[in-house]
Copies of this chain bind each other. A is one copy, B any other.
Amino acid sequence: MSLRFLTLLSFIIIIGISCNNAEGKNSADDNSGKYVLVVHGGAGTISRQTMTPEREAQYRAGIEAALKAGYKIIEEGGEALDAVEAAVRILEDDSLFNAGKGSVFTHDGRNELDASIMDGRNRNAGAIAGVTIIKNPITAARAVMEKSEHVMLAGRGAELFAIEQNIDTVSPEYFRTEPRWRGLQRSLRADSLKKVNSTASLPADPDQKFGTVGCVALDKNGNLAAGTSTGGMNNKKYGRIGDAPIIGAGSFADNKTVAVSCTGWGEFYIRNVVAYDVSAQMEYKNMSIAEASASVIKKVGDAGGNGGLIAIDKNGNIAMPFNTSGMYRGAITKDGKIEVYFYND
């Protein structure tokens, strides 16, 4: 009894510590090796205070639908790569998330989408950047990986490639949603106010900055895969490319170590090669997935950046650290048990 009591006490202490952890750890970080798939729908200023029960239910439904779509494939013995693509497509089609249908607008009032995918079996990878007519960028990224000699295609060239591959295209208007359009207008007003008074600011759209979706998966054959998709940064200018389509920054997967998908202030993620750095620290420093993921998010924070990441290792351990007030995220176990989290408390 005394031993059991001590074990229970330790467990309570660990939970207590993790609940107060600024890096947003939660019970899924216990590394119990039971997970098969993790998704995220972006990190940012997500807090209980600004969330309504209706909106919370919508986000939860979106995350759960993505988890289930990916899980179905894994459960039936399918490939991690297929599961990642299926889960990300669900999030791209859901206008709540900043990817595919819910993408934010550029400064010029366009929707320019980026995505990347990576296969842990062989480090094959594909990415597209700055596309405006591809319904599901993650599927186009996969086609770049599997049907071209290249890893990364951009702009009109990427669209021509996708058309040749019979990938679904849509009119650019498909991506227009009113909440995102209003988000752009708020930012444009804030810009013009700043021109008059450099210290002025308007409240930002809480979801706008780090909206990205992603998925990492482990299949029954021990293969890992990672995918990330985004509409980029609200009000972005000059053909800016963030971390989402950059292999090593936004996505990375290697069966030897880990699959990672990031969401955050892209510039800091590129400069810190975030997704690959999780893998490098696991491989070269023998860190656990939790240690490596937390270490990398700390680096991003120390540099002045913020955001989060999701990761799954070859043993089914996961990590979902972030240094923002919240990150839409969820995981599903081998047995189909779903966990969904939004906040860091």
Q: Write out, one digit per residue, whether chain A residues 297-308 have a CB within 8 A of any chain B CB (1) or not (0).
A: 000000100000
**CB atoms of B267 and A248 under 8 A apart:** no
A224: Cβ under 8 A from any B Cβ: no
A167: Cβ under 8 A from any B Cβ: no
A284: Cβ under 8 A from any B Cβ: yes
Query: Which residues on the B side are within 8 Å of A284 (C-beta)?
Result: 280-281, 284-285
Given contact pairs A246-B248, A247-B271, a sample of 14 additional A-B residue pairs in the complex whose CB atoms are under 8 Å apart:
A123-B303, A124-B271, A130-B154, A151-B270, A153-B239, A153-B241, A154-B154, A154-B241, A160-B238, A247-B249, A248-B249, A252-B273, A276-B276, A284-B285
**A241-293 contacts to B (CB < 8 Å):** 241-242, 246-249, 252, 266-267, 270-273, 276-277, 280-281, 284-285
Q: How far is the CA of A151 from the CA of B270 in the complex (A)?
A: 8
A77: Cβ under 8 A from any B Cβ: no
Q: How far is the CA of A129 from the CA of B248 in the complex (A)?
A: 17
A158: Cβ under 8 A from any B Cβ: yes
Q: How far is the CA of A236 from the CA of B237 in the complex (A)?
A: 26
**CB atoms of A150 and B267 under 8 A apart:** yes
Residue of B nearest to A265 (CB): B149
**CB atoms of A154 and B125 under 8 A apart:** no
Query: Which residues on the B side are within 8 Å of A280 (C-beta)?
Result: 276-277, 280, 284
Q: How far is the CA of A149 from the CA of B270 in the complex (A)?
A: 13
Stoichiometry, copies per complex:
2
Q: How far is the CA of A252 from the CA of B271 in the complex (A)?
A: 9
Q: How far is the CA of A130 from the CA of B129 in the complex (A)?
A: 12
**CB atoms of B276 and A152 under 8 A apart:** no
**CB atoms of B273 and A241 under 8 A apart:** no
**CB atoms of B240 and A157 under 8 A apart:** yes
Residue of B nearest to A150 (CB): B240
A59: Cβ under 8 A from any B Cβ: no
Contact of A238 among B150, B247, B271 (CB under 8 A): B150
A32: Cβ under 8 A from any B Cβ: no
**CB atoms of B272 and A240 under 8 A apart:** no
A183: Cβ under 8 A from any B Cβ: no
Query: Which residues on the B side are within 8 Å of A246 (C-beta)?
Result: 152, 246-248
Q: How far is the CA of A150 from the CA of B265 in the complex (A)?
A: 10
A148: Cβ under 8 A from any B Cβ: yes
**A148-178 contacts to B (CB < 8 Å):** 148-158, 160-161
**A109-125 contacts to B (CB < 8 Å):** 118, 123-125
Query: What are some 22 contacts across the A-B interface (CB < 8 A)?
Result: A118-B271, A129-B241, A130-B154, A150-B236, A150-B240, A151-B270, A152-B241, A152-B270, A153-B239, A153-B241, A154-B155, A154-B239, A155-B155, A157-B237, A158-B239, A160-B238, A246-B247, A248-B270, A248-B273, A252-B273, A276-B277, A281-B284
